[in-house]
Amino acid sequence: RFDLTDPQTIAAAAQRASDVTLLINNASTAMFAPPLDADRNAVEAEMATNYLGTYDTTLAFVPALERNGGGAIVNVLSLLALASTPPMAGYSASKAALHSMTQALRPVLRERGIAVHGAYPAGIDTNMLAGIDAPKTPAAEVAAGVLDGLEAGDEDIFPDPNAKQMSALWQSDPKGFER
């Protein structure tokens, strides 16, 4: 059992995986609510899982990564970390906070021999997006894209075709991407 909102299960997982050299933070939750209609408790749950849970997991695993001579951390974010969409305001905010934390961790952990990567997929065909009419990439394809980006040494990984296309727009026209 691994619950991102339970520090005890996070600590137990870090203890069990004492030989870790790669940590992929991939858990997420979304409540699908616009900013003015979102239930505050739902937004707190998104922040607790998507941001704080990932942050706590990272803190728990850094000592093992260091003991093992370094390694890498991949935070699976979302294109919505870079620009929000009204129906997913809390989710987007939690992923934007994690995007910022990913950037803050990079120079600190680099000094400890740990590379920090952000993965920014578009829609992934998982239970979270079941019933949502949007382009989705199979999870296995996204996972392969994350590993390819990791192997290439990309700090920012856009692991699927939709993400690659949207990243070009984000890089060339951030406000266009936001719209």
User: Rounded to an integer, what distance in angstroms lies between the CA atom of residue 127 and that of residue 27?
Assistant: 12
Q: Which amino acid is at 82?
A: L
Instruction: Say yes or no to pLDDT of 19 above 90.
Output: yes
- Return the structure tokens found at 107: 């120079």
Q: pLDDT at position 111, please?
A: 97
Average pLDDT, the chain: 92
Q: Tell me the pLDDT tens digit for each residue of 37-86.
A: 989 999 999 999 999 999 999 999 999 999 999 999 999 999 989 998 88
Mean per-residue pLDDT, 134-154: 90
Instruction: Return phi, psi of residue 63, to 5°.
Output: -60, -40
pTM of the model: 0.92
Q: pLDDT at position 27, please?
A: 81
